[in-house]
Structures are given as structure tokens and as C-alpha cells.
Amino acid sequence: MIEVQGLTKRYGDKTAVDGISFTAEPGVVTGFLGPNGAGKSTTMRMIVGLDRPTAGSATVNGKRYADHSAPLHEVGALLDAKAVHPGRSALGHLLAMGATHGIGRTRVDEVIAITGLESVAKKRVRGFSLGMGQRLGIAAALLGDPATLILDEPVNGLDPEGVIWVRTLARQLAAEGRTVFLSSHLMSEMAQTADHIIVLGRGRVIADSSVGEIIALSSGTAVRVRTPDADRFASLIAAPGVTITRSESDLLVVNGVPAPRLGELASSNGVILHELTPAAGTLEDAYLTLTQDEVEYHAGGPGAATPAAATAAMTEGATR
């Protein structure tokens, strides 16, 4: 279990993490999402004692990381896959790490097998691809058979097979009762891997809910209406607080009027409907909606994170 209370990190004038509190529970995959610069890595670094909090606390299994006498058995972390001496082999790196905790060759061979590194175990890390480096980082995190795993962007650099492998491993580790806390930029990946999601924006927690709740809260109000009478229906329902996006001549995406009310309005005005669907948003839509004001580095132009872009994405997703 990871417990974070009022955690804050300032670098000079810059507040990277701003008084956040959350819990990552055992038996659950907790996803940690946020735009670039939101403070995810800084938070993870503070949890494992690599950065000192300006205020607040972070504990793993009830104690600060530094207070654990055998931390590798409590928490395994992959924070920077490149933080390995390039002249060492994967085997040498894992043996050296294991030696700090009395972990021997048998366990090292096990984690090499779990992560599929057998064929390159004796090669120098210098020649590793990003994906092989990620696998080695995960092997190191698993070495002490810890109850808690912290993985920063674990699928970064992995091919599709590797992505599925990380997803399956994360789910399996949680099913064994471990706490699995992982960050990712890939919303679709999180939707398939995580049970619970914490969204960070500019150093603050902006959502802390199950995947389903996040989608429902952020994007559950849009309704797709397909009608040959789109012009007339749009003018009938236009009102303050109602937004109507029209992406095809006969398709309206309506926010601000529930689907039953739209059906009643169509019926009482003799408008023929070919479709009336409350649009189930995707996690991607929800994330864009949640973080639209929290992005530190905005991409300009079409597709920037705006509510319109989120609605457009939903419309597009639903028509495909």
C-alpha cells in the first residue's frame, strides 16, 4: 500500500507537486496519469526517497522508504530504465543489486526468465534497445519479490507484444494481492490495465476514481442524435447551456440535454430519429476534458486539448 499525504515539492519558484494526497491499495492496479510536467515522476521519486518532499509524507507499507531495513523486499521501482551502468551485463546488474539484500543467482535467473531476457542476459546493457532496458528495469523491480511495485512509464519503448506482456504482468501482480502503481501517457492502455486512476494536472490531483467513474463524470452527458431533419431539430433544442456539434449532415452530438428529453422533443415536434444514443466516452475523452486547463505545454492547432476536440474525438470514435 502506498499512502501519500499533503505531498509537496518545490524547486525554487516552481511547485512541481502541490499538496497531493492519495492511496494506492493492495490487489489493485492504480494508474497515474497526467500531461507532461504534471508531477508524476517527481511524486514517484519522493515515494522511493530519491527526492525529499518540501512538505507532506509518502509511505510504502506503512513506513517511509528510507525506514525500511530491506527496501527491495517492500517496494520494487522502475523509474528510469537508463539508470544502469552501460558496461555491466543485465545478469551482472541484477546480481549486484541482489547482493545488497542477500538475493542470489536463483532469484536473478527467475526474474530474467519472467522478463524474457534470457538470450541477452550476458550482453552489456550499452547495446540494449529501449524495450530491453524497460524489461531489465522491470526485472530489477521484481527482484526482491516486493508487495508494492512502482513503475514509471513501463510500456515506453515496448513493441505491441511487450505492451500486452506488461499489461498481463501488472494484472497478475495485483491479482496476487500486490499494490501496483504505474504511470503512462497511453490512456487506452490505462483503460485496459488499471482498476483505479489518479489524474494529476499541474501538480494537483484532479481525479481519483475508478476508470468507469472517470469516464462517466467527464464525458457521460453527450448524446448522439441522427435525424434527416438535423437543421430543424438543432434549432428546436438550442438553449443556453446546450452545445451541439455537427460532424455529419444528419448527426448531432448534443451536450446538456438528457437522451429521454431529446426523444420527447423529437416526438412532440414530429422529428424522425434514426438514432438516439447516450455516447459512452472513452478514457481518452475523459482525460482531455479533465486536463484541458491543466496542461503545461499546449499543442496549438487542430486537435489541441479542448472540449470541442474531446467531443469530436467521441463523435469520431462512435462513428467508426
Ligand X SMILES: Nc1ncnc2c1ncn2[C@@H]1O[C@H](COP(=O)(O)OP(=O)(O)OP(=O)(O)O)[C@@H](O)[C@H]1O
Least Å distance between CB 143 and ligand X? 24
> Do the strands 251-255 and 243-248 form a parallel or antiparallel pair, or are they unpaired?
antiparallel
Least Å distance between CB 41 and ligand X? 3
Least Å distance between CB 158 and ligand X? 17
Least Å distance between CB 164 and ligand X? 22
CA distance 19 to 302: 34
Q: Which is nearer to ligand X, 36 or 69 (CB)?
A: 36
Nearest to 170 by CA among 11, 313, 31, 44: 31
Q: Which is nearer to ligand X, 41 or 289 (CB)?
A: 41
Q: In the chain, how long is the greatest CA-to-CA distance?
A: 78
Least Å distance between CB 194 and ligand X? 16
Least Å distance between CB 11 and ligand X? 3
CA distance 308 to 245: 8
Q: How far is CA 317 from the centre of its chain?
A: 20
Cα-only R_g, the chain: 24
CA distance 135 to 57: 30
Residues 6+ apart with CB under 8 A from 97: 72, 103, 140, 143
Give contact residues for ligand X (rule: CB under 6 A). Answer: 11, 14, 16, 34, 36-42
Q: Which is nearer to ligand X, 14 or 52 (CB)?
A: 14
Q: Which is nearer to ligand X, 183 or 219 (CB)?
A: 183
Q: Which is nearer to ligand X, 37 or 144 (CB)?
A: 37
CA distance 291 to 55: 25
Q: Lay out the sheet containing 275-278: strands in order across.
A: 243-248, 251-255, 222-226, 275-278
Q: Which is nearer to ligand X, 16 or 253 (CB)?
A: 16
